[in-house]
């Protein structure tokens, strides 16, 4: 796991080595073991790399080049099928100088060109500079496990800059740190900035399963999708059609086991991030089916608040499997201590408070291992969230009521819910009632986002400052949902839900959280449930086998029963939540008043002080539970004071860089 950065300048221009070094140095925490650079001696391109050594510890220095030096590559991630590709390329006459998985990118580009992306499998963001063609090739893995940002800067927007994190782009003096009002509205809606847009006007994310080819001479980019999530035409449909439920269960368990085995390739110690939920427990069990359980180290986070604490469940799984288990508690004081560190590495606002325990877990785990397996993806692929159960109920209402009457019922339910005692416990009854009610009256896709998000589109006009309101709401925030479904071959609403959660919540939130929190501590996290084979099988499986009645993740749970005790498989989902609601009335109260102070918000000009003040006052008085919107606002303010417009660019101490031929 690593960080990559670089630039391509117009013909005749030269890469500034100090700028390249400054960009690369911001990624030092992603790759604490080594730094490497390449600058084309003819001008045109520069590549930077920060390395976390996982495979070929002594020989995997990057950038990696072809024999004539004209092709250079930097890679962030792991390529799980590199050994087979390496043998294929050797048979074609290519010579390898290292045992690194990343070297297949260099020779694979020469052999296959952009079709390289269809052959490699893993989690990756990569850049290849072809000095012969004067072209830069960028690509990102199929589900977006690894990030890749880019922007066009300078005169006539002819300089392309790219990096693993946005903060690296900020180091280029021509990058304009201009906050996008539309992106802010989307952030408040989704708790992240979704899809290709970023919080800055001039920067973009390369979409998952996509490559981009930048021609230096033409100053033009060609972009193409090399993979997409397919349902009716899933490559795995042959493994589903005509198969019995038991046959599907066996096949799924086999794929998870093989995906886990593939992710054990490493020259450093590995562990498992274990919450005690079905997903991470299944991954731990699959690993215990491949290697001796006593050699496996498992790690979990506990909470004082029992409604959020999954520690006993994780301990139960570890004891059942026979792993070497470790745990650490996230107390309010620990949260306050690490919050500045979390804010420092989130160079784009993220309203998911579980990034705090994820960071603590990463820090704790890194004391013992360098690589950890996690259970990310199970809820999105196999319909595991409580919102899917809620939608099964809402579908009944759809059949008997028009949306207008359903919306009216929702308003009545919300008024009734306000009479319930306010609880800030995890998934409390009043929280679930209010969330369910606010989604009524929307169509199926928008309803899911209404349940998940912090602010409804109708609420944005109140919370956004008047000066930016018009620009921010020039686009319907929910239009992103419709864009995701364009061209989809989804068979039913459950396929559409899987696609929506995969693109908006998994890629935009969960994987961002895990990548930033783990990389900030130099920990690589691998996700067997996001193996391409598992993803494509999940897409081919009918929704009725994923959500059976009100049983979520039905088929995955059946696959896990051979490995795990029933009390783990069948227990209600708790989620990796954080007691933010209670902390906002206690240890976070002072910080909330400081960051959301009316005078401060007026000076900044992004948020409406009166509305923010109302939310804060009601929550702290205990008359309402505004935990989600308030944390989303706090996360934005923490980001704004570190990375917002007008904040001085902190230039890291650069390492020496020299041109290379």
HSE-up of residue 557 (Cα within 13 Å, Cβ side): 21
pLDDT of the residue at 460: 97
Collapsing DSSP to helix, strand or coil, 181 comes out as: helix
- CB distance 308 to 353 below 8 Å: no
Region 162-177 average pLDDT? 96
Apex CA 573: angle with CA 229 and CA 368, to 5°? 85
pLDDT in tens, 298-328: 999 888 777 777 888 999 999 999 999 999 8
- CB distance 289 to 281 below 8 Å: no
Give pTM, 2 decimals: 0.93
Q: Is residue 514 pLDDT above 90, yes or no?
A: yes
User: In angstroms, rounded to a whole number, what is the distance separating the alpha carbons of residues 431 and 435?
Assistant: 6
* Straight-line distance from the first to the last Cα atom of the chain, in angstroms, rounded to the nearest whole number: 26
- CB distance 524 to 480 below 8 Å: no
What token pair was written down for 68? 């004539």
Region 554-575 average pLDDT? 91
Residues of the chain with CATH 3.40.50.620: 237-383+506-569
pLDDT in tens, 465-512: 999 999 999 999 999 999 999 999 999 999 999 999 999 999 999 999
The 10 Å Cβ neighbour count of residue 598 is 14
The residues, any chain, with a CB within 8 Å of residue 391's CB and separated by 6 or more, are 444, 447, 448, 493, 497
456: left (phi over 0), alpha (psi -120 to 50) or beta: beta
DSSP string, 199-222: SBTTEEEPPTTEEEEEETTTTEEE
Q: What is the mean pLDDT of the chain?
A: 90
> What's the topology of domain 237-383+506-569?
Rossmann fold (3.40.50)
Q: Is residue 527 pLDDT above 50, yes or no?
A: yes
Q: Is residue 652 pLDDT above 50, yes or no?
A: no
Residue 514, class by beta-carbon neighbours within 10 Å (0-12 exposed, 13-18 middle, 19+ buried)? Answer: buried
pLDDT in tens, 362-398: 999 999 999 999 999 999 999 999 999 989 888 877 7
User: In angstroms, rounded to a whole number, what is the distance separating the alpha carbons of residues 521 and 349?
Assistant: 19
pLDDT of the residue at 659: 44
pLDDT band at residue 661 under the 50/70/90 scheme: very low
HSE-up of residue 611 (Cα within 13 Å, Cβ side): 14
- CB distance 406 to 398 below 8 Å: yes
pLDDT band at residue 643 under the 50/70/90 scheme: very high
Region 640-654 average pLDDT? 71
Region 451-461 average pLDDT? 93
Region 403-423 average pLDDT? 65
Measure Cα distances from 164 to 10, 479, 582, 616 in Å: 22, 27, 35, 35
> What's the topology of domain 2-225?
3.60.20
Closest CA to 560 of 243, 240, 260: 260
Helix (H) / strand (E) containing 626: none
Closest CA to 543 of 304, 372, 380: 380
Residues of the chain with CATH 3.60.20.10: 2-225
pLDDT of the residue at 656: 45
pLDDT in tens, 20-44: 999 999 999 998 888 899 999 887 8
User: In angstroms, rounded to a whole number, what is the distance separating the alpha carbons of residues 504 and 185?
Assistant: 15
What token pair was written down for 504? 């908006």
What token pair was written down for 371? 């690589």
User: In angstroms, rounded to a whole number, what is the distance separating the alpha carbons of residues 108 and 292?
Assistant: 35
Q: Is residue 421 pLDDT above 70, yes or no?
A: no
Q: Is residue 147 pLDDT above 90, yes or no?
A: yes
User: In angstroms, rounded to a whole number, what is the distance separating the alpha carbons of residues 162 and 178?
Assistant: 17
pLDDT band at residue 405 under the 50/70/90 scheme: confident
Number of H helices, E strands in the chain: 29, 17
Closest CA to 130 of 164, 148, 158, 105: 105
Q: Which of 153-157, 604-608, 649-653 has the lowest mean pLDDT?
A: 649-653
pLDDT of the residue at 413: 64
Helix (H) / strand (E) containing 488: none
pLDDT of the residue at 26: 95
pLDDT in tens, 99-121: 888 999 999 999 999 999 999 99
- CB distance 126 to 118 below 8 Å: no
User: In angstroms, rounded to a whole number, what is the distance separating the alpha carbons of residues 359 and 519?
Assistant: 9
What token pair was written down for 330? 């996230």
The residues, any chain, with a CB within 8 Å of residue 433's CB and separated by 6 or more, are 413, 417, 420
pLDDT of the residue at 58: 59
């Amino acid at each position: 796991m690593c960080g990559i950065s670089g630039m391509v300048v117009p013909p005749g221009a030269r890469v500034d080595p100090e700028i390249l070094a400054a960009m690369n140095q911001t990624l030092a925490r992603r790759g604490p073991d080594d730094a490497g650079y390449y600058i084309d001696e003819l001008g045109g391109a520069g590549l930077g790399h920060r390395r976390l050594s996982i495979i070929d510890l002594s020989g995997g220095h990057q950038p990696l080049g072809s024999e004539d030096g004209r092709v250079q590559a930097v890679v962030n991630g792991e390529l799980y099928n590199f050994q087979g590709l390496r043998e294929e390329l050797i048979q074609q006459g290519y010579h390898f100088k290292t045992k690194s998985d990343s070297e297949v990118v260099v020779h694979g580009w020469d052999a296959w060109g952009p079709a390289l992306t269809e052959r490699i499998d893993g989690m990756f963001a990569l850049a290849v500079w072809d000095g012969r063609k004067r072209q830069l090739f960028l690509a990102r893995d199929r589900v977006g496990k690894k990030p890749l940002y880019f922007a066009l800067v300078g005169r006539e927007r002819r300089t392309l800059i790219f990096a693993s994190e946005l903060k690296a782009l900020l180091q280029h003096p021509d990058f304009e740190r201009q906050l996008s009002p539309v992106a802010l509205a989307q952030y408040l809606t989704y708790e992240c900035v979704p899809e290709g847009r970023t919080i800055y006007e001039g920067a973009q994310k390369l979409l998952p399963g996509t490559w981009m080819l930048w021609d230096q001479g033409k100053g033009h980019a060609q972009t193409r999708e090399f993979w997409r999530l397919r349902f009716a035409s899933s490559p795995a449909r042959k493994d589903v059609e005509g198969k019995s439920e038991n046959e599907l269960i066996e096949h799924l368990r086999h794929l998870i086991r093989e995906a886990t085995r593939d992710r054990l390739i490493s020259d450093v110690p590995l562990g498992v991030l274990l919450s005690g939920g079905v997903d991470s427990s299944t991954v731990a069990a699959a690993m215990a089916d491949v290697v001796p359980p006593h050699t496996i180290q498992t790690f979990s986070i506990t909470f004082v608040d029992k409604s959020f604490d999954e520690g006993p469940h994780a301990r139960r799984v570890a004891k059942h499997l026979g792993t070497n288990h470790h745990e650490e508690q996230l107390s309010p004081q620990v949260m306050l201590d690490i919050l500045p560190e979390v804010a420092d590495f989130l160079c784009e606002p993220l309203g998911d408070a579980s990034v705090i325990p994820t960071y603590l877990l990463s820090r704790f785990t890194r004391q013992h291992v360098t690589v950890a397996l996690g259970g990310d993806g199970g809820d999105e692929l196999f319909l595991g969230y409580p919102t899917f159960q809620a939608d099964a109920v809402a579908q009944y209402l759809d059949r008997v009521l028009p949306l207008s009457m359903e919306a009216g019922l929702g308003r009545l339910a919300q008024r009734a819910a306000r009479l319930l005692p306010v609880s800030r416990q995890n998934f409390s009854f009043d929280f679930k009632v209010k969330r369910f009610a606010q989604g009524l009256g929307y169509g199926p896709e928008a309803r899911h986002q209404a349940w998940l998000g912090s602010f409804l589109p109708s609420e944005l006009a109140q919370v956004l400052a008047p000066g930016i309101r018009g620009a921010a709401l020039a686009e319907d925030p929910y239009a992103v949902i419709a864009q995701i479904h364009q061209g989809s071959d989804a068979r039913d609403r459950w396929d559409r839900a899987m696609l929506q959660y995969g693109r908006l919540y998994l890629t935009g939130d969960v994987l961002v959280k895990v990548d930033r929190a783990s990389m900030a501590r130099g920990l690589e996290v691998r996700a067997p449930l996001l193996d391409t084979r598992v993803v494509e099988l999940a897409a081919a499986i009918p929704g009725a086998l994923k959500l059976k009645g009100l049983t979520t993740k039905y088929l995955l749970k059946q696959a896990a029963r051979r490995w795990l005790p029933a009390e783990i498989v069948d227990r209600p989902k708790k989620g990796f939540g954080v007691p933010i609601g209670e902390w906002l009335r206690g240890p976070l109260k002072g910080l909330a008043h400081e960051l959301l102070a009316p005078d401060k918000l007026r000076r900044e000009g992004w948020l409406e002080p009166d509305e923010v003040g109302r939310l804060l006052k009601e929550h702290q008085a205990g008359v309402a539970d505004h935990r989600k919107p308030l944390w989303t606002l706090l996360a934005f303010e923490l980001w704004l004071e570190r990375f917002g417009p007008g904040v001085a660019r902190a230039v890291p101490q650069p390492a020496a860089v020299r041109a290379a031929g």
